Chain A
Amino acid sequence: METIGVHVDGVSKRYAHRVKGEVYAARDVRLDVRPGEFLTLLGPSGCGKTTTLRMIAGYEKPDSGRVRFGGQDVTDLPANQRNIGFVFQNYALFPHLSVFENVAYGLRVRGQNDDVIRKSVGDVLTLVGLAGYEQQFSGQLSGGEQQRVALARAIVIRPRVLLFDEPLSNLDAKLRVQMRQEIRDLQRRLAITTVYVTHDQEEAMAVSDRIAVMHQGSVVQQGTAEDLYHRPASQFVAQFVGRMNLVAGRVAAIVGETVNIAALGTLISARSPPNGLAPGDPVQLIVRPEAIEVIRGDTGTLHATIVSRTFLGEKIEYLVRCEGEMLQIVRYNAGPGDLIPEGATVSLRFAADAVTVLTNTGVEGRGSE
């Protein structure tokens, strides 16, 4: 079967809320998932990820907007005619059927003959590492095994699109890391266009080709993990994807692609600032904890005091006070003797391309793509 893209064109969905009246669970959501791509919807609980995914699946009908699979408009097509594979957080295995019959369900619906079913189910169970589990029932399986059955059941029908709704959140931390790798490998191998929902930014970065960050029903930024991390369009995205320090400042001068910002009592330079900045404009700087260099002693221009430190083996986290602001800093452990004591005075240095400038509109969280 040809691989197709998924296109979500300005889809909205409203619900009646008991207190707030009509609320948008999804608002003018636009997504373009390329054929074979792994796209993740990332956002805090309640931001509309599930609603969006369910509209792609066909469980919900959008109030406005269209959903297309390749060239086909599927907006009015119910879920059972879209040829999708769906994996739920709670696995949703059929408790009255064996593992074999769970996986075989979609094939039986499609009227496949028994030989084909036996072979396909056997193959896919081997693929997910569950060969030999055919006759078990879901009650006898561990969480990880249940999730594998759910995965096998979704892919055995060779769906056009694979959809995951927080598939790993019922698993313990270690299994989660292992399973997300397996899901990623499987998706690569089968090259099925995939939309994946999670609220865990690390998981999103680990599995996705691209990530769409959602906030209050809208997609606020789309891009690769790197894009989002290094070029967040808003404070919300910066905060949600990784950790950050937020520093207020004012534009001092613009020199070509570089802008100098007066902040923390010194001048900090940043590259590729937003358009339309003029000297004197108030801005916010986003500085990632690992982008701040810590130098012992007060030789530099920007001085700070170590308030606390946490030794984590491979890295050391510091909390420092600098011009009345608290900053988080993460450094890789360079070896014995690298730990700076609490109360020590240090100098800080910001790498120029590691600082992101946001105008105050970006701070409101209404940043566009």
Chain B
Amino acid sequence: MSATGRWAAATMGMRNDPAVAAAVFVLWALLALFVVYPLAMLFVRVLTDHGGFTTAGLAAVLFDRHQLRAFRNSLLLALLVGSAGTVLGFLFAFTAARGRLPRGLLTAIDAAVLLPLVSPPFTTAIAMIFSFGPRGLITYDLLGLKGVTVYGLTSTLFSEVLTFFPIAYLTLRPLLAAIDSNVEGMAFSLGASRWRVFRTVTLPLTIPGLANAFLLLFAASLADFATPLILAGNNFPVLPTQAYLQITGLFDLRGGAALSFALLLPALAVFLLQRYWVSRRYYVTITGKGAGQTPFDSIAPGMRTVLLAACAVVALVVVYFYALLLYASLVVALGANHAFTLQHYRVIFTDGLKAIRDTLIIAGLAMPLGGLYGILLGYLVTKKSFAGRRTMELVSMINYALPGTIVGIAYLIAFNDPPLELTGTALIIIACYIFRYGPTGIRATVALLQQIDKSLEEASQGLGAGSGATFRRVTLPLIMPAFFAGLGVVFIRSMTAISATIFLVSISWTLITVKILENITELSLGPAAAFSVLVVAIVFVVIAIIGRVLRLFRAPGAVPMTSLLGG
């Protein structure tokens, strides 16, 4: 069909269906307001001065030796986190997918991997300080070291890898599970050793997934603001924290914007690589497996022990960190006075009560709206043809793909002045969450809809149902799993995110995560730990509830929500 023909058909489809046209219009308006406009304002702020175009602001950042170092550090850290996290994620994914582990052990691995994914920021960072700081349990109490410093590349790297490797795990495990085990068995029967099978079959088939995992981790580390803020220290500045300090410390919004701008390029490159290069390189290996048949045993017994031991060590570190956090929330001062107390919880439920209430209100409002936004946009771009459909999908992914620092600063710039003065309101935070984390629901919806046969909807329309009725009666029930999964992710992220919203909180509306940061800077680590424990507990309860709801829809394509937290 020619372009004009397609356009005609598309607009005709819309004219026939005012509901679709209206929905598309509203979504475009929202995307324009909350995605395109803030980003445009960021560009304007960075690239103009007194009404004229200039790169001076950007140049000032890019040629400043100190900032250049931050840029290099950011890339170095992302590179290291990407590599180490991918290796660690692969270790876990391979062990879980191939280790023939008993169910209980698999659940244990999943739980250990899930913890960092649903935690508020700073949790591993706090635990690092508790363990390896000047008065750390391990460095000071156990090893008797004095005057050690926990700040710098090593501990930032360690902490970020531990926080982000689950993303690689979630990306790689389904991929490994989907590899037809007969393909490996075939190589084995042709005389290859298990190691050779791994090297020449399993690994090459996983390379697109490894690349994808690496890029996801690279992006996550590049955007991470919380960990370096606590652990990087003065000698290892990175861009997101520099941007934050520029704005909150030096009140230099333009400089901070320019700094965040420098993040844009690598983040965009990663996003495009992932979307247009890696995703096309997946092998189709799923070829109908023998039902109930024992898969090829690709791990020798000795190797299984080694792999399990390696996973156990990492899992133990994770569990140790969280146990430490819990412990720290229940003693007077970890490292100094280990007497049991509920004082920290008393503090967070009095002084911190407003933050808790605000966070729950904001998360509670963002959750249904974000879920709705996800399935509506996902449905429209998959099932309806209208002009600019692909563009809409791409635009909807922008805030999700960009580092939070950029989004936060862009919102701050865009919504600071009339007529769109939203700073200080809850709305700005809610909007930020919807458009930043709603895309997970969009992707889940798209993935689910692509599995649903078109004939189902055609059958309904053939029976005289309009597109509204068809959506309500046929499609909606089918994509409910994506709705709940998307909604769950928005809630969890609303409870745990900080990188964007740190710029958007105000006296009227604040967040638990921001409160945790305040506590850490004031060195009240007890309340910080108590807040973190509270968030983890709330998130686990919500995951359990949504898991229960998802189980009600035993649809073949039901989306396990936790797998969506991977990014």
Interface residues of A (CB under 8 A from B): 50, 54, 57-60, 78-86, 88-96, 105-106, 109-110, 139, 153, 157, 170
Contact B294 A80 (CB under 8 A): no
Q: Which residues of B contact A88 (CB under 8 A)?
A: 182, 185-186
Q: Which residues of A contact B284 (CB under 8 A)?
A: 95, 139
Alpha-carbon distance between A336 and B296 when the two chains are bound, in angstroms: 58
The yes or no answer to B290 lying at the interface (CB within 8 A) is yes
Among the listed B180, B191, B201, B297, which residue makes an inter-chain contact with A90, where contact means beta carbons less than 8 Å apart? B180
Is the pair A92, B180 in contact by a Cβ cutoff of 8 Å? yes
B287 interface residue per 8 A CB criterion? yes
Please pick, from B190, B205, B289, the residue contacting A96 in the complex, using a CB distance under 8 A. B205
| A109 adjacent to B205 (CB under 8 Å) | no
The closest CB in chain B to the CB of A156 belongs to B190
Q: Which residues of B contact A78 (CB under 8 A)?
A: 188
**Which of B183, B200, B288, B289 is in CB contact (< 8 Å) with A93?**
B183
Instruction: Say whether B43 faces chain A, with CB atoms less than 8 Å apart.
Output: no
CB distance from A32 to the nearest CB of B (A): 22
Secondary structure dominating the interface of B:
loop
Cα distance A107–B140 in the bound complex, in angstroms: 59
A106 to B190 CA separation, bound complex (whole angstroms): 5
Q: Contacts A92-B180, A96-B283 given; 19 further ones with Cβ under 8 A?
A: A54-B294, A59-B296, A60-B294, A80-B188, A83-B191, A84-B189, A88-B185, A89-B290, A90-B180, A90-B287, A95-B205, A95-B283, A105-B187, A109-B190, A109-B192, A109-B196, A139-B284, A157-B190, A157-B191
A residues in contact with B183, CB < 8 Å = 92-95
B55 at interface, CB cutoff 8 A: no
B16 CB within 8 Å of chain A: no
B193 contacts chain A at the CB level, 8 A cutoff: yes
CB–CB B187/A90 < 8 A: no
CA distance A267 to B288 in the complex (A): 53
B188 touches A79 (CB 8 A): yes
Establish whether residues B288 and A106, one from each chain, have CB atoms under 8 Å apart when the complex forms. no
Residue of B nearest to A146 (CB): B287
CA–CA, A78 to B297, complex, Å? 11
Q: Is B48's CB within 8 Å of the partner chain A?
A: no
B54 on the interface (CB 8 Å rule)? no
Residues of chain B with a CB closer than 8 A to A170's CB? 288
Q: Is the CB of B186 within 8 A of A92?
A: yes
- Distance between B271 CB and nearest chain A CB, rounded to angstroms: 26
Q: What are 7 residue pairs bridging A and B, where the CB atoms are less than 8 Å apart in the complex?
A: A59-B185, A81-B191, A82-B189, A88-B186, A92-B287, A94-B187, A96-B204
Contacts A50-B293, A92-B182, A94-B183 given; does A57 touch B287 at CB 8 Å:
no
Across the interface, B189 reaches (CB within 8 A) one of A60, A79, A110, namely A79
Q: A86-B186, A90-B288 are in contact. Are A80 and B180 (CB under 8 A)?
A: no
Contacting residues, chain A, for B149 (C-beta < 8 A): none
Show the binding face of B for A, using Cβ within 8 Å: 180, 182-183, 185-193, 196, 200-201, 204-205, 283-285, 287-290, 293-294, 296-297
Q: How far is the CA of A86 from the CA of B185 in the complex (A)?
A: 9
Contact of B185 among A79, A82, A109 (CB under 8 A): A79
Cα distance A89–B186 in the bound complex, in angstroms: 12
A153-B285 CB under 8 A given contacts A59-B296, A92-B182, A93-B183 = no
User: How far apart are the CA atoms of A96 and B285 in the complex, in Å?
Assistant: 9
Judge whether B290 and A50 touch: CB under 8 Å: yes
**B287 — which chain A residues lie within 8 A by C-beta?**
90-92
Q: Which residues of B contact A57 (CB under 8 A)?
A: 189
Which residues from B are CB-within-8-Å of A93?
Answer: 183
Cβ contacts under 8 Å, A54 to chain B: 294
A90 vs B180: C-alpha distance when bound (angstroms)? 9
When A59-B185, A109-B191, A157-B191 are in contact, do A90 and B289 touch as well, CB less than 8 Å? yes
List the A residue with the shortest CB-CB distance to B196. Answer: A109
Asked if A90 and B190 sit within 8 Å, CB to CB, the answer is no
Across the interface, which residues of A come within 8 angstroms of B189, CB to CB?
57-59, 79-80, 82, 84-86
Q: Which residues of A contact B201 (CB under 8 A)?
A: 94, 96
User: Top 7 nearest A-B pairs by Cβ distance?
Assistant: A106-B190, A92-B182, A95-B283, A90-B287, A109-B191, A92-B186, A86-B189
Q: How far is the CA of A171 from the CA of B189 in the complex (A)?
A: 24
Nearest A residue to B289, CB-CB = A90
Which of the residues A60, A91, A106 comes within 8 Å of B191, measured between beta carbons?
A: A106
Interface pair A80/B191, CB less than 8 Å apart = yes
Which residue of chain B has its CB nearest to the CB of A91? B287
How near does chain B come to A134, taking the closest CB pair, in angstroms? 18
Q: Determine the chain B residues whose CB is within 8 A of the CB of A60 once the complex forms.
A: 294
- Min distance, Cβ B377 to any Cβ of chain A, angstroms: 32
CA gap between A96 and B199 in the complex, in Å: 13
A58–B288 Cα distance when bound, in Å, is 22
| Cα distance A110–B296 in the bound complex, in angstroms | 21
Q: Hey, which chain B residues are within 8 Å of A81, CB to CB?
A: 191
A68 to B42, alpha carbons, bound, how many Å?
A: 75
Does B283 contact A80, Cβ atoms closer than 8 Å? no
A57 to B289, alpha carbons, bound, how many Å? 18
- The chain B residue with its CB closest to the CB of A107 is B190
